[in-house]
A and B are shown apart, each in its own frame.
Chain A
Amino acid sequence: MTNSKPHEVIINTIRVPAYFNGEINGAKKFANESQSPVLINFAECTFITVDGLEWLEEFVSSVESTGKHCRFENMTPSIYKVFKVARIDCLLRSCGAPVIPEGAVC
């Protein structure tokens, strides 16, 4: 996790580990103290488990309940695809992806 203060804009970055199996120590506290958007960096992440997905969903929901939002950054296509297949709205919002409507769209 890094915290810098360039030009009076606070940048919050939570780094997701390579094998993400849920719970990033101190993340919730960090998010509480940070301004929006809370940046979550996936540059090192190569694998997410079901527990990891569930934790992320809970974390993002909790951040959003405070009026802030999260932004996922540096996702590999493999990780981004996990979010796409999982179809969890709040995670897709954090990816900046449009929410996919139900059913096929041409």
Chain B
Amino acid sequence: MLFTTLKRTIHAGLVSFWRNGWLSMATIMVMALTLFVMGSLLFVNALMNSVITSLEQKIDITVYFMPGATDDQMLAVKQDVEKLPDVKAVTFVSRDAALAVFQEAHKDNALIASALQEVGENPLEASINIRATDPRHYAAISDFLVNKKYPIVEKINYFENQTVIDRLSSILASVRGGGALIALFLAFIAVLVAFNTIRIAIFTMREEISIMRLVGATSWFVRGPFLVNGVLYGVVAAVATVLAFLPITWLIAPKLLLLVPSFDLYHYFAANFLQFFGLLAAFGVILGSLSSVFAVRRYLKV
């Protein structure tokens, strides 16, 4: 019996979806617009993350050692820093490596090359380069190093760049928080529009709903096909949305790359296509079915 009811419900939902073609089409279009907004918010989120990550990667602090520091002493400091929970990576740069990098960076500058030759020996100091999990943790890491009072530490460049690092950290935090708020607000508006569209679609069928009740249908027998319709709206709208995103991301990606070289929109979309479709379809199905169930409930009280 359950199987028969389920079969009839799905059949009735499909038939109603097809026969109310224009109504279904209009509802799907609004739903697709909602999913488009949600999808765009996902893209913006990925873009923001890429920009923030690339900015964060540019922030680090360097600890310079005294000229006489031994490798063991310097490695001991490195190991201490690595044990800190807020530290993402620590790179040791020896004097020779520092010189090689310096020379490579200034290989076209004859003046610097001749100055180095005049000095005769390597004037650069060994150092460790520290990357934190979050730029806000650099102050604590620097404090740790200062409090430890390592005799071989000559200088920590955090204190020179403190203002810039703090300001950048604060901007990134604001962008994250503000972006999330705007995304939530837009998502709420989009959901409200889709929900109301489905309510209107079902409002046009209120007479049919009461007829069904009067001829002896249970609430769920009436509700079932509308639920199927809601699911179909969600799935078809999700398909339409990802199909629309394919050419749009392909067209926008090259222009966006000029602004944000670290983010290839089309590549990101193609790489995450299935997750993207799954997320939009799941959202569409939940939105469509819940809206339908809520909208029908009102007219079932016959």
Q: Real complex partners, A and B?
A: no
Q: B residues within 8 Å of A by Cβ?
A: none
A-side residues, CB < 8 A to B, are none
